[in-house]
Amino acid sequence: MGLKGIVVECFVGFWDYETAKIMVVKNRPLGIIYRSVQFLIVTYFTWYVFIIQKAYQEIETGPESSIYTKMNGVALSGDTVQDMVEYVRPSEGGDVISAILRKEVTHNQRQGVCAEHFSVPGANCTEDSDCTPQEIGTEGNGKRTGLCVPYYNQTFKTCQIKSWCPIEEFAAVREPALKEAINFTVFIKNTVHFPKFRVLRGNTKGKKNLHSCTYNAVTNIYCPVFTLGYIAKQAEENFTELCETGGVIGVFINWKCNLDLDPSECYPQYAFRRLDLRKDLISSGYNYRFGKYYSRNGSEYRSLVKAFGMRIDVIVHGEAGKFSVIPTIINMVAAMTSVGICSFLCDWILLTFIDKNEIYSDMKFDGVTSDPSQDLATENTTVSQDLTHTDLSDNVQL
Amino acid sequence: MGLKGIVVECFVGFWDYETAKIMVVKNRPLGIIYRSVQFLIVTYFTWYVFIIQKAYQEIETGPESSIYTKMNGVALSGDTVQDMVEYVRPSEGGDVISAILRKEVTHNQRQGVCAEHFSVPGANCTEDSDCTPQEIGTEGNGKRTGLCVPYYNQTFKTCQIKSWCPIEEFAAVREPALKEAINFTVFIKNTVHFPKFRVLRGNTKGKKNLHSCTYNAVTNIYCPVFTLGYIAKQAEENFTELCETGGVIGVFINWKCNLDLDPSECYPQYAFRRLDLRKDLISSGYNYRFGKYYSRNGSEYRSLVKAFGMRIDVIVHGEAGKFSVIPTIINMVAAMTSVGICSFLCDWILLTFIDKNEIYSDMKFDGVTSDPSQDLATENTTVSQDLTHTDLSDNVQL
Amino acid sequence: MGLKGIVVECFVGFWDYETAKIMVVKNRPLGIIYRSVQFLIVTYFTWYVFIIQKAYQEIETGPESSIYTKMNGVALSGDTVQDMVEYVRPSEGGDVISAILRKEVTHNQRQGVCAEHFSVPGANCTEDSDCTPQEIGTEGNGKRTGLCVPYYNQTFKTCQIKSWCPIEEFAAVREPALKEAINFTVFIKNTVHFPKFRVLRGNTKGKKNLHSCTYNAVTNIYCPVFTLGYIAKQAEENFTELCETGGVIGVFINWKCNLDLDPSECYPQYAFRRLDLRKDLISSGYNYRFGKYYSRNGSEYRSLVKAFGMRIDVIVHGEAGKFSVIPTIINMVAAMTSVGICSFLCDWILLTFIDKNEIYSDMKFDGVTSDPSQDLATENTTVSQDLTHTDLSDNVQL
C-alpha cells in the first residue's frame, strides 16, 4: 500500500460516519432514575429557561431614553401666589426636576460687616482680642474683622465678620409651606428607542390634550400626568412631612417589551420610591440655597432662599426581547449538554451500587495495555477491568 | 486480594486513559450529511461567532464618560442682540444643553389682582356670585377673590384672581424666532474611559483651536463643532419648524473600539435623531418657562419667559473589545460541543432510515440485562438489541 | 411479533439505561497527560471561575442610584465674600455640581452699539466702507452697523457693532482666584438600590452631624464630606492650576457588594480622576458664561460672568452578587463539558504518536460497511480500520 493508497484511504475514511458505541443496561430502577433526571433537566430548560426566561430571545437593555418634564399648578404661600416659574427648579424640564415646597428667605442681604451667629464655635466674645482677624472657620459665615460687636441689638456680643449681611441664621424668615402643592401636576414625557431592534416607544398616545388628564394605572396608562400627592402616596411618604424636610423621590419608568407580541403589550410601568434614606434622620431631606439678585442705588442686594423641596428623579429602565436564532441554538446546545450530565450520575450509581458482579463495568470498559506483548504479564493487575468481552472470548478459545 | 491490593489497583487505574469506543459506519450518503452538518456548524462558529461577533474578545461596555458642551454665535432677534449668555440654558455646559430659539415674554408681571383668562373653565361671569372665592382649579392662573371684573378693558367680564398680573395668556408678547441660530455652533467635548482596559479616549485631537473648525465626518472627525443647522438636518428635521415648536434632538456619540487594532481605529461616530415623538402633534416640541426678576421701588417684578428651544441631549455609547483567553476558550468549547449536535441528527437518520437490517443498532448498542443469570430467560424480549457482537461470536462458537 | 409486541418492546426499551462504551488504555504516559490536563481544567474552573470570578453568584449591575450634593465654605475673593450661594452652580445639588473658582466679569453691559474687538477677522477698518453692514461672523460679537468708529478711546478704529456693550474682550475685569476654596467641602450623599436583590445601601451611617466630619478612607468611610483640595490631590491635579483654567473631576463611587457576606462588607469606595483631557492644552479646562440681570431706569443691564470652575461629576458604579442555583449549574455544566476537551487532545496523541501498531484504533473504532453483504468485497479498502476485535476473533476461529 503506497502513498496513493494512504491518500485514497484517508479520503474514503473522511466520509465515514462515526458514532459512539452505547451499552444498553436493562435495569428498570436505574432506567427510572435515568429518565427522571432527564425529565427534570428537560422540564427545567423548557419551562424555566425557555418559557420564563425567554432564552430564545435576543435581549437589548439600556435603551436610549429622552425625558421631558413639566410641572403645573398654582398655589398660595401665605399671601403670595406661587406658579410654576416660582417653584420649579431647574426650569429646563430634564430628568431631575424639583418643586420648592417651603422657603426660608433672608431678604436684602448685601456685602458688609455684621455679627457672627453665636452658635459658631469661638464666635462669642467679650472684647476685640477674643476675635482673631483673617480667619474663616469651615463653619463660619465670613471672615472675622477682629472686632467684638453686639449681636443685632442684643446684650451679648459676638465677633464681627465680613459677609453677606445680615446673616441667614439671624434674619431668615420662614415662609409657610405650600400645602396646596399636593395638587400640582407633573407631566413626565418619555420616549425610548431600542437601536438594535429599531423600535421607538413613547409613554403618550393619541392627540388628546395630555396636560388635562391624570394618570391611572388601569384606565389611563398613556397619560403620564401625576399629582405630587399621588407620587408621595405611591412612595409611601407623608406629603405634609415632605413639605417640612424636603425629599428625593424616584419615579421609575420600566419598559419590559416582548417584541414577539403585539406592540400594545409594550407599555411603560411606573414605580415610585423615596431615594434619600429616611431612617437616617439627620441627613435625610432635600434642600438647597440660591440667591435672587437686585441692584439698588448701584449696589448689589440679594435675597437668599433656602428651599426645601420635592425633587423628582426620573429613572428609566428598559428591556426588549425578540426571537433570534443564535441564543436559541446556544441555549438548546446548553440544554442538550446538560442532559448529558445525568449520565455522570447514573454511571456512578450503576458502577457503585448496582454493579455487584462487575458485569457492567466489564461491558463498559475495554482494557488495553500499553504494549500488547505484555498482555499476559499485566493481566493480574488489570484483572478487574480486563474481564472484558475480548478476554472472555479468548478464554473460550483456549 | 486484600485492602492493599485494592488501593494499588485504584492508584494504577487512576492513571489509565479512558476514551469512548466509536463505531465507524461506512455509508457514503450518511457520511456526506455528517460532514456537511459539521461543516455548517464549524463555518458558523468560525465566521459568525469568531470573526463577526469577535467572540475571542473580552468586551467592556458602559465606559465612564464626561461631556462638556459650549454654544457659540450671535444673532438678532428683532432689534435685540442675542448672544450665548441669553439663549443657552442651563449655562453650565453639561450633557443637556438648550438654545432658546423663540420667546413669548410677559413683561412686568407682579403679584396683584387681575382678570382670569376667559378660556379657563368657569372663569366667565356676569356678577360676583359666579366666582367662588378661595378656589384654584388646576388649570387656573391664580386664586379667585370672589369678584367679577371687566377683562382688561374689554366689555365682557371674568372672575378676578390673585396672581402674577397681568396674566400670560393676555399679555405675552411673541418675539420673532432666532432664525439666524441655524449658524450657531455647539462644541461637544467628550472623553471616555474604559476602566477594565485602562484606555482613555477623547473626541478632540491636536492643539489647534477647536472652536473655529467645523465637524466633517470624513476630513475632520476630531473637530466636534456642529452648527445647529447641521444637527437639525442630520436628524431630518426642518430648522424653521424647530424654531416654532422647539424640539429635543439626541446627539449620539458611539465609540466602538477594537483595542487589538491600532488606536487610530478607535474613533467616535456621531448620529443625530429627534427624541420627542414628532408624529404626536399635541405633545411634541420643547418649551419651558422661567422668570427674570427685578426689584423696583421695593417691590418685585418679573419678566415671564416662555422659551421654545432646541434641546440637545448628548448620549454616549461605548464598547471596547480586546483579545482575552477566557472568552476564547469558552466559545471554543461551545463550538466543539455544538459539533456534537450533528451526532444527534445523524444517529436518528442512521437508525430510522438507513438501518434496515438493524445491523447498525446491533453494533451500536450492547444490551445487558439487570441480572446476568436471567440472560437466557429474557433473551426473547431483548432480541432486537441483543443481536450484538457478543452474541454473534458466542453463536459462532456453538 | 405484531404491533402490540413493538409497542411493548418500545415501552420496555424506554426504561433502559444507555451509557457510552469506554475503552481503557493502560498507558502510563498518556494517563499522566490525561489527568494533568483534567487537573488544569478543573483547577481553572474551581479557582478562577468559581472562587475569583464568583461564577456561582447571580450578578446585578447598574443599580438605581440617587445623588445629592451640597457645598459648604466661605472665602474672600479680593474684597467680596463668596459663600455657597455665589459660587455653586447649579444650586439644586444633583450629580453634577460646580464651584466657581475664578471670574472674569464684564459689568454693566446693555444692548447698544460699540466698537468690535480688533482681533475679530475683518474688524479693523479705516473708513465706513470697510464695514459691510448686517453681517455677523461666527466669531464676531454682534451685527455690524456699517460705521467705522474709534476703538474705546484708542487711536485705531474698528467696525461698530450692535451688541451687548461694552464687549467682553475689552471690558472684562479679572477677579482674583478663590484660592481659599481649597478648604471648601462638598458633601456627596449617595444611595443605591439593587432591585433584583431588594437591597438598599447608603454612603452615610449613624445619626451624627455629617456636615462637620471629613472623609477618611480608613477611619471614616461613612462620612462622604471631601474638601476640594482633597479631591484635586487624589486626582493628581494642582489646585492652583485648577483655579486658573478650571477643570472637570470625576468622583467615582464604586459599590462592589458580595451579598453572601455580612452587610458591613458592602461599602462604597471612592476614586477621583480628572475627566477633561489635560495634555490637550488648548481645549482643556472648564469655563462657562452666565449673566446677572438688572433693571435700571427701565432698561435692562447685565453683568456678564465668565466663570472658571471645578466641576465635579459624581459617577456611581455598582455591582452586587448573591448565590444563585442557575448560574452555578450553568457554570458547572460548562466546567464538565470543558473537561471533555482533554479527550480531543489525548485521542489525537494516542492515535498519532502512541498507536504504532494500530491496536488502539482497532479497539476504539468498530467498522461497519453500508451493506453487510459486501463485507468481504470492501474488506481491502477498509483494512486499516477493519482490524477490529470482531475480525480478530473471527480470524482465530477459521
Closest by Cβ to A333, choosing from B96, B139, B337:
B337
**Which of A283, A369, A389 is the mutation pick for testing C, counting most C CBs within 10 A?**
A283
Tell me the average pLDDT across C362-376: 56
Residue A109 lies in a domain: no
Judged against a pLDDT cut of 70, whether residue B7 lies above it is answered with yes
Share of chain B above pLDDT 90, in %: 26
**Which of A11, A12, A17 is the mutation pick for testing B, counting most B CBs within 10 A?**
A17
Judged against a pLDDT cut of 90, whether residue C101 lies above it is answered with yes
Beta-ladder partners of B382: none
Q: How far apart are the C-alpha atoms of C310 and C276, rounded to whole Å?
A: 11
**Which of B368, B373, B385, B391 is the mutation pick for testing A, counting most A CBs within 10 A?**
B368
DSSP character at residue A398? -
Q: Is C144 annotated as a binding residue?
A: no
Which cell is C155 given?
A: 487711536
Judged against a pLDDT cut of 70, whether residue A19 lies above it is answered with yes
- Domain range for B191 is 61-104+176-322
Where does the pLDDT of residue B279 fall: very low under 50, low under 70, confident under 90, or very high at 90 and above? low
Which of A311-315, B1-5, C33-37, C370-374 has maximum average pLDDT?
A311-315
Q: How far apart are the C-alpha atoms of B137 and A347, rounded to whole Å?
A: 78
Q: Which residue has the higher pLDDT, A95 or C5?
A: A95
Pairing relation of β-strands C22-26 and A365-369? Answer: parallel
**Which of A103, A107, A352, A368 is the mutation pick for testing C, counting most C CBs within 10 A?**
A368
Tell me the chain C residues in contact with residue B333 when contact means C-beta distances shorter than 8 Å. 334, 337-338, 341
- How many contacts (CB atoms, under 8 Å) link A and B? 197
Residue A396 lies in a domain: no
Q: How far apart are the C-alpha atoms of A240 and A219, rounded to whole Å?
A: 28
| Contact at CB, A138 and C73, closer than 8 angstroms | yes
Judged against a pLDDT cut of 80, whether residue B339 lies above it is answered with no
pLDDT of residue B211: 62
Judged against a pLDDT cut of 70, whether residue A200 lies above it is answered with yes
Tell me the average pLDDT across B163-182: 91
Judged against a pLDDT cut of 60, whether residue B397 lies above it is answered with no
Report which residue type is found at C230.
Y
Q: Are residues A162 and A263 in the same domain?
A: no
Q: Which residue has the higher pLDDT, A318 or A24?
A: A318
Where does the pLDDT of residue C381 fall: very low under 50, low under 70, confident under 90, or very high at 90 and above? very low
Where does the pLDDT of residue B231 fall: very low under 50, low under 70, confident under 90, or very high at 90 and above? very high
Q: Which residue has the higher pLDDT, A210 or C14?
A: C14
Residue C197 lies in a domain: yes
**Average pLDDT for chain A:** 81
Q: How far is A381 from chain B (nearest CA, A)?
A: 7
Judged against a pLDDT cut of 60, whether residue A396 lies above it is answered with no
Judged against a pLDDT cut of 60, whether residue C377 lies above it is answered with no
Give the number of domains in chain C.
3
Where does the pLDDT of residue A329 fall: very low under 50, low under 70, confident under 90, or very high at 90 and above? confident
Judged against a pLDDT cut of 70, whether residue A207 lies above it is answered with no
- For residue A264, give the CATH number of its domain: 2.60.490.10
Closest by Cβ to C204, choosing from A98, A283, A350:
A283
* pLDDT, tens only, C107-165: 989 999 999 998 888 888 888 888 887 666 667 888 888 899 999 888 899 999 999 99
Share of chain B above pLDDT 70, in %: 86
pLDDT of residue B171: 92
Q: Which residue has the higher pLDDT, B280 or C117?
A: C117
Tell me the chain A residues in contact with residue C81 when contact means C-beta distances shorter than 8 Å. 111, 142-143, 162-164
E strand or H helix that includes residue A170: helix A168-171
Q: How far apart are the C-alpha atoms of B123 and B136, rounded to whole Å?
A: 11
Residue B397 lies in a domain: no
Q: Which residues contact C39 (CB under 8 A, 6 or more apart)?
A: none
DSSP character at residue B265? G
Does the ipTM surpass 0.95?
A: no
- For residue B369, give the CATH number of its domain: 1.10.287.940
Tell me the average pLDDT across A362-371: 64
Tell me the average pLDDT across A331-346: 76
Closest by Cβ to C367, choosing from B26, B210, B396:
B26
Q: How far apart are the C-alpha atoms of C311 and C245, rounded to whole Å?
A: 12
Q: Give yes or no for a cis peptide into B166 (omega within 30° of 0).
A: yes
Q: How far is B371 from chain A (nearest CA, A)?
A: 8
Q: How far apart are the C-alpha atoms of C390 and A182, rounded to whole Å?
A: 90
| Contact at CB, A382 and C26, closer than 8 angstroms | yes
Q: How far is C363 from chain A (nearest CA, A)?
A: 8
Residue B232 lies in a domain: yes
Q: Which of B377-386, C216-225, C344-353 has the lowest mean pLDDT?
A: B377-386
Tell me the chain C residues in contact with residue B343 when contact means C-beta distances shorter than 8 Å. none
Chains that touch C (3 or more CB pairs under 8 A): A, B
Q: Which residues contact C10 (CB under 8 A, 6 or more apart)?
A: none
Q: Are residues A318 and A360 in the same domain?
A: no
Is there a contact between B207 and C282 (Cβ–Cβ < 8 Å)? yes
**Average pLDDT for chain B:** 81
pLDDT of residue B37: 85
Q: How far apart are the C-alpha atoms of A385 and A398, rounded to whole Å?
A: 20
pLDDT of residue A367: 65
pLDDT of residue A385: 37
Q: Are residues A96 and A206 in the same domain?
A: yes
* pLDDT, tens only, C223-243: 899 999 999 999 999 999 899
* pLDDT, tens only, C289-315: 999 888 777 788 899 999 999 999 999
Q: How far apart are the C-alpha atoms of A361 and A380, rounded to whole Å?
A: 17
Where does the pLDDT of residue B204 fall: very low under 50, low under 70, confident under 90, or very high at 90 and above? confident
Q: Is C183 annotated as a binding residue?
A: no
Residue B180 lies in a domain: yes
Chains that touch A (3 or more CB pairs under 8 A): B, C
User: Rounded to 5 degrees, what are φ and ψ at C172?
Assistant: -65, 135
Is there a contact between B322 and B58 (Cβ–Cβ < 8 Å)? yes
* pLDDT, tens only, C73-93: 888 877 888 888 999 989 888
Q: Is B287 helix (H, G, I), strand (E, B) or coil?
A: strand
Q: Which of A24-33, B280-289, B318-327, C292-301 has the lowest mean pLDDT?
A: B280-289
Q: Are residues B360 and B306 in the same domain?
A: no
| Contact at CB, C364 and B21, closer than 8 angstroms | yes
Q: Is B263 helix (H, G, I), strand (E, B) or coil?
A: helix
- CA-atom Rg of chain C in angstroms: 40
Q: Are residues C189 and C245 in the same domain?
A: yes
Judged against a pLDDT cut of 90, whether residue A266 lies above it is answered with no
| Contact at CB, A136 and C354, closer than 8 angstroms | no
Q: Are residues A83 and A216 in the same domain?
A: yes
Judged against a pLDDT cut of 80, whether residue A111 lies above it is answered with yes
Q: How far is C275 from chain B (nearest CA, A)?
A: 6
pLDDT of residue B382: 35
Q: Which residue has the higher pLDDT, B320 or B345?
A: B320
* pLDDT, tens only, A60-79: 888 888 899 999 888 887 78
Q: Which residue has the higher pLDDT, B284 or A53?
A: A53
Tell me the average pLDDT across A223-246: 91
Which of A322, A352, A380 is a domain's end point?
Answer: A322
Judged against a pLDDT cut of 80, whether residue A157 lies above it is answered with yes
Tell me the average pLDDT across A12-29: 80
DSSP character at residue A237? -
Judged against a pLDDT cut of 50, whether residue B329 lies above it is answered with yes
Residue C293 lies in a domain: yes
Residue A89 lies in a domain: yes
Q: How far is C341 from chain B (nearest CA, A)?
A: 7
pLDDT of residue C375: 40
Share of chain A above pLDDT 70, in %: 86
Q: Are residues B198 and B304 in the same domain?
A: yes
Report which residue type is found at A189.
K
Tell me the average pLDDT across B292-320: 88
Q: How far apart are the C-alpha atoms of C222 and C218, rounded to whole Å?
A: 10
List Cα–Cα distances, B11 to B14, B311, C43, C343, in angstroms.
5, 75, 21, 20
Q: Are residues C93 and C227 in the same domain?
A: yes
Q: How far is C207 from chain B (nearest CA, A)?
A: 33
Place of cell 485705531: C156
pLDDT of residue B228: 94
Is there a contact between A107 and A171 (Cβ–Cβ < 8 Å)? yes
Q: Which residue has the higher pLDDT, B283 or B381?
A: B283
Where does the pLDDT of residue C252 fall: very low under 50, low under 70, confident under 90, or very high at 90 and above? very high
Nearest alpha carbon to residue C250 among B67, B251, B93, B314? B67
Q: Are residues C144 and C288 in the same domain?
A: no
Is there a contact between B122 and C327 (Cβ–Cβ < 8 Å)? no
Tell me the average pLDDT across B264-293: 81
Q: Which of A169-178, B217-226, C302-311 has the lowest mean pLDDT?
A: B217-226
pLDDT of residue A390: 35
Q: Are residues B137 and B257 in the same domain?
A: no
Where does the pLDDT of residue C384 fall: very low under 50, low under 70, confident under 90, or very high at 90 and above? very low
Q: Are residues B292 and B151 in the same domain?
A: no
Q: Are residues A218 and A82 in the same domain?
A: yes
* pLDDT, tens only, B371-390: 444 443 333 333 333 333 33
- Where would I find the beta strands (DSSP E) of chain C? 17-20, 22-26, 57-61, 64-72, 75-77, 80-82, 88-89, 96-115, 143-150, 157-165, 173-174, 185-194, 199-202, 225-227, 247-258, 268-274, 287-296, 299-323, 365-369
pLDDT of residue A209: 61
Q: Where are the alpha helices (DSSP H) in chain C?
A: 3-14, 28-43, 84-87, 168-171, 228-234, 239-245, 325-349, 359-364, 375-378, 383-386, 389-397
